[in-house]
Amino acid sequence: MKDKVVLITGSSQGIGRATALKLVSLGARVVLNDIKAQEENLKKTAQETGAQYFLADVSKAEETEKMAQEIQQQMGGLDVLINNAGIVQDRTLAKMTQEEWQKVIDINLTGVFNVSKSCLPLLIQSQGKIINVSSVVGLRGNFGQTNYAAAKAGIIGFTKSLSREVGRFGVTVNAVAPGFIETKLTDNLPEEMKITLKKLTSLGRFGKPEEVASVIAFLASSEASFITGEVITIDGGLN
């Protein structure tokens, strides 16, 4: 990964931050991204990694286009795109508002489209890699998450389809599907629920962001050069 330019969306905290730290340790030139509301956290991650950052809302095509142009100008190109940005707004479908549905789709799924499309010319030029962060929820569903599950399942279909389109240019496209990972999202769960969820995994625990970051780093490296259109589940044996 030495001197490879890597863009990680939604990288102010959690899996995005852990991935940034991992890739910097491997010699990559990391570019961080998040929204204005997360700028303080983004600055902290930038200080930890020595990385640059760009503020952009991935749900807005004009902002992702501008970010891609700035990366080209300031970094000279792009080798790896990691689409990690995402939110949750959980509610059963009967109670879900149109806004709660649309916002999750716009950020989690349309965001992947926007950033991938904006960065694709750079990635074709470098014969680069795209890694999309999906979720086991996109594979199996989850109570109260029809919006999130639909978006994450959409990412899987997007990954498999785009891999067929860009393989001829030497670009690979893969996804990871994490299970329950120790992030702010799981920190806020009631203790009883945490115990129940841990029992659902073969390993009896939540995963760590660093464990997801290691798989992403593998897919971003030259060692994964003949893997494309795949989804790697990282869930500790979720039953």
- 3-class DSSP state of 116: helix
Tokens at 223, concatenated:
């060692």
Assess whether 148 carries a catalytic annotation.
yes
Q: How far apart are CA 83 and CA 104, in angstroms?
A: 15
> Could you tell me which of 115, 117, 133 has the C-alpha nearest to residue 63?
115
Q: How wide is the angle at C-alpha 26 spanned by C-alphas 21 and 32, nearest 5°?
A: 40
Q: Which position among 54, 148, 158, 180 bears the catalytic label?
A: 148
Helix orientation angle between 111-126 and 146-166, rounded to the nearest 10 degrees:
20
Residue that is written with structure tokens 């393989």 in the block: 167
Q: How far apart are CA 198 and CA 232, in angstroms?
A: 20
Q: Please give the positions annotated as active site.
A: 148
